[in-house]
A and B are shown apart, each in its own frame.
Chain A
Amino acid sequence: MDQRYIRNFSIIAHIDHGKSTLADRFLELTGALQAREMEAQVLDAMDLERERGITIKAHPVRLNYTSVSGEQYVLNLIDTPGHVDFGYEVTRSMAACEGALLLVDASQGVEAQTLANAYLAVDNNLDIIPVINKIDLPSAQPEECRRQIEEIIGLDGTGAILASAKEGTGTREILEAIVERFSPPAGSADAPLKALVFDSWYDAYRGVVIVVRVIDGVLRPGSKVRLMASAQDYQVDELGVFSPKALPVQELGVGEVGFVVANIKRVSDARIGDTLTETARQTLEPFPGFKELKPMVFAGLYPVEGHQYSELREALDKLRLNDASFFYEPETSMALGFGFRCGFLGLLHMEIVQERLEREYNMDLVTTAPGVLYRVTTTDGEVHEIDSPAKLPDAGRIAKLEEPVITATILTPSEHVGSILQLCQDKRGVQKKLEYLKSDRVLVTYDLPFNEVVLDFYDRLKTLSRGYASLDYQVTGFWESPLVKMDILVNGEPVDALSIIVHRDAAYERGRAVAAKMRELIPRQMFEVAIQASIGNRVIARESVKALRKNVLAKCYGGDISRKRKLLEKQKEGKKRMKRVGRVEIPQEAFLAVLKVGTE
């Protein structure tokens, strides 16, 4: 197909700013909606994947658009994940585009996520068309939005299109702008094949399905192709596009977007950002920007019932089939028994995996406090990456301890800036930039220890700003820090799953708070339970849960034994959800509650 009539674009938007509604309007106006209705099942499956899928991303959609001047265009709408955990995937999706619509809610204005993604789009040399959506709302302030787009993002706001995706206002104008203002794909049909892999998933029937954007050359069924990063060769079995239903095609040429099935067994063989080329005639340079995705956040996952260990392993194996960015290895905890140390891209990613395990695989899990990847230089000069407090060497063997640092961009209404700065300081942040914008907004940039952000930063930011501040961040490096391992002892026994790595100056306060929280969470037992927080051999806090002395001995009504029994069953059910450590029964939430202290 003639590449002059192709436009590849994505939509940058903050959550709830109307991205999916606008996409629906596009489908409707280009006549794809009928197909969509016919293929309700296909789309449902997509929605399901979207709801549950690790990428949280929809398939690209190919729209056939006839412009006002009567020309036929193919517009490929490429979705981008909406969460900071998946930042790398966002860059790869953008790399597959020439343009991006910057969608801003006319009543909400520009948010940090929008800003971060707009910068990414600029970095990727995309043409950007600002769209101010929801102008039908009474609270809409399109002129204010226009100003924010200019002032905060630095784009020309005069070309912004006013729209209401809900009412259909501005849809055609946007489509016309896409055709007129976005560049067609460059690239050469005669050059060796070069295609960017920007999504992949596992399909039980077809194996791995990869989604590509052809940069140079042509892809055809039967082609012998190579994935350059993994250096594996395959033969293309099937090519297709999503219209939105999957439609087989006989070729994908320069600038086209579609899917490839080539008997690839594992998603880890077809990683996002890899380049597909011809085996026989390889492109000289792979598409730039490929990165190995590295887990950033780590936590222990343990079955509540020990016998579910092998089931958990199977479930993790299956999840991993479709999610190359997720990592796990067996781990043994004195307290929790056999489980797995798991690595995730971020907290949302962790929650998704956890939820899928519980919902789809019926697992009852105990999750330990998430932590980050520390870098330890031991006295012998070796550098180790530590993903669990349990793996931290003895203090005497540590020459240098470094923690990962993020650069956080926070956009907030100016009235909350004071408390947000305080929060960043409390979290050991270093201020990089503080910009008061004319539109009564403040752009705050901080370097922060990632560990502190993993704890509860986002929740607190939202609380402090009553939901108005938005956050985006990127891991930017490591810094040295006086960190110590804090252990929690229950009846004199260290509970390894409760150990955390904390800053030395905060350890005392944190120890006290954790011990107090544990006292609240551990129910009274037959004997007194002693809780201690310690660093090395030094106890820094202690609490105790007094022994349980009584149950309620109530009258049994006329031989109603079933009622007594139900009561006991209920109590027993409650106990089942606890983990036994030594003789002490500890509720599951206690293993995560270590995180939730010291925040009030």
Chain B
Amino acid sequence: MTEPLGLYVHIPFCASICNYCNFNRGLFDADLKRRYVGALVEEIRRSDGSPADTIFFGGGTPSLLDPSDVEALIAACRESFSVSADAEVTLEANPDSVTVDRLAGYRQAGVTRVSFGVQSFRDAELLRLGRTHDARGAAEALGMARTAGFDNVSLDLMMWLPGQSPDEWLESVERLIALRPDHASVYMLELYPNAPLREEMARARWTQAPDDDVAHMYLSAMERLERAGLDQYEISNVARPGCTSRHNLKYWSDGEWVGFGCGAHSTRGGARWKNVASTAEYVDLVGRGSPAAIDVRVMSRQEQLEDALFMGLRRSGGVDLPSVGSRYDIDVWSYYGPQLAPYLDEGLLIYDGGALRLSRPGMLLAHEVMMVFISPDVR
């Protein structure tokens, strides 16, 4: 592959644990953080100098790192990879964990893009989610980022929250638009089976909106965001022109990325692997000079093709069948066309001979379509 790599750095610490989240994270511990950053630097340094053009600090809550930590990690990336001068360097942040100084420090360290986990602009909803910030804090965080000099700021919102009505959801969307971010992500709350939030919902009798309402919430939000100059470029992502997330696009464009840190995922050279999930074990393994990767798996061509197709469908522009076809040496349309026909008939899919893409109602039913590309025993 000639495309430069994306580098992902996982920061598994949080100041408090949200009641709906099951990402790989734990409570912040200063000493563990220090050792963890050391281990990250060590793991990154084992790399081979390949070209890379994005770095993404994801979590957890990466903004719990001090600017000096971030600086050391970016430096390690630059030493061990050939990181382009105009690289996109994203840091996920919690609105209540930042100050202008701190943000300026990140910027000084080389961060070019900040992504705030706002989730909602309604305090009642934030409270239900167990978030520690309020709507005003979120707005202020964006202002601080601007003051610190960031011209690429993203805000995350979540819809389908417990007790959230369509109007309440659109209120958050309007508040977001009014703040003029450069990028926004819109997700639906996914309640994993044992999420503590489920219990709280049951106790308080909060329910999630019915499907038809959620569809309306999604479609209205996308229309509204687009009118405000934030163009949809992926199922859940919108951006001002030129501000799409180059790092995340690698996931959706059959790209390659290397993840560092506990539980980080990598896809490179036709293989996929995952690092050990436990923070302590990760620090220990790296400290002993061992690889942190477990579960290294070489993918078959079929699996790579399928992943390229179903992940590619997430992009608004769709997946270009002729180019995927030439990469994997298959006539994608004649192979999958018959199975795709019902979705084209229903208007969920659009195909113009080049790109195959989902319509907006199709995006809501993306999984139904993506299943066409899944063959059962490919892994």
B251–A569 CB distance below 8 A: no
> Closest residue of chain A to B272, judged by CB?
A562
The size class of the interface chain A forms with chain B is: 20 to 34
Question: A569 contacts B370, CB within 8 Å?
Answer: no
Q: Which residues of B contact A567 (CB under 8 A)?
A: 367
- Measured in the bound complex, the distance between the Cα atoms of B218 and A560 in whole Å is 24
Complex Cα gap A529–B175 (Å): 39
Query: Could you say which of A182-190, A237-245, A545-553 contacts chain B?
Result: A545-553
Name the residue of chain A whose CB is nearest to the CB of B208: A552
Do residues A562 and B265 form an inter-chain contact, with CB atoms below 8 A?
yes
Question: Is the beta-carbon distance between B348 and A526 smaller than 8 angstroms?
Answer: yes
Interface 0/1 of A59-88, CB less than 8 Å to B: 000000000000000000000000000000
How far, in Å, is A544 (CB) from chain B's closest CB? 14
Does chain A have a CB within 8 A of B23?
yes
Smallest beta-carbon distance B277→chain A, Å:
11
Q: Is A583 an interface residue (CB 8 A)?
A: yes
Q: Which of B156, B218, B263, B311 contacts A550 (CB 8 A)?
A: B218
Residue of A whose beta carbon sits closest to that of B366: A551
Q: Which of B190, B236, B250, B368 has the most CB of A within 10 A?
A: B368
- Residue among B187, B251, B310, B368 making CB contact with A554, cutoff 8 Å: B187
| Chain B contacts for A557, CB-based, 8 A | 23-24, 58
Q: Which residues of A contact B187 (CB under 8 A)?
A: 553-555
Cβ–Cβ contact A575 & B364, under 8 A: no
Q: Report A562-583 residues with CB < 8 Å from chain B CB.
A: 562, 564-565, 567-569, 571-573, 575-576, 583
Q: Once the chains bind, are B374 and A549 in contact (CB under 8 Å)? A: no
Residues of chain A within 8 A (CB-CB) of B307 are 561, 565
Q: Tell me which residues across on chain B come within 8 A of A556, comparing CB atoms.
A: 251
Pair A572/B348 contact, Cβ less than 8 Å: no
A569's contact among B236, B342, B348, B376, by CB below 8 Å, is which? B376
**Are B374's CB and A526's CB within 8 A?**
no
B214 beta carbon closer than 8 Å to chain A: yes
* Pair count A-B, CB < 8 A: 108
**A418 contacts chain B at the CB level, 8 A cutoff:** no
Residues 173-203 of chain B, each 1 if its beta carbon lies under 8 Å from chain A, else 0: 0000000000001011110000000000000
Kindly state whether residue A396 has any CB partner on chain B within 8 Å. no
Which chain A residue shows the least CB distance to B252? A556
Do residues A526 and B364 form an inter-chain contact, with CB atoms below 8 A? Answer: no
B interface, how many residues as a size bin? 35 or more
Is B311 a contact partner of A561 (Cβ separation < 8 A)? yes
> Do B364 and A553 have beta carbons less than 8 Å apart?
yes
| Contact B236 A555, beta carbon cutoff 8 Å | yes
Residues of B within 8 A of A381 (CB): none
Chain A residues positioned under 8 Å from B13 (CB to CB): none
Interface residues of B in 269-300 (CB under 8 A from A): 272, 274
Residue of B whose beta carbon sits closest to that of A560? B265
Q: Tell me, yes or no, whether B81 is within 8 Å of chain A by CB.
A: no
Contact flag A571-B371 (CB < 8 Å), given A549-B212, A559-B8, A559-B267: yes
User: 7 extra interchain contacts, Cβ-Cβ under 8 A, other than A550-B365, A554-B187, A567-B367?
Assistant: A550-B218, A551-B364, A551-B366, A558-B263, A568-B310, A568-B367, A573-B376
Q: Which residues of B contact A (CB under 8 A)?
A: 6, 8, 10, 23-24, 56, 58, 156, 160, 185, 187-190, 211-212, 214-215, 218, 235-236, 250-251, 257, 259, 263-267, 272, 274, 306-307, 310-311, 342-343, 346, 348, 361, 363-368, 370-371, 374, 376, 379
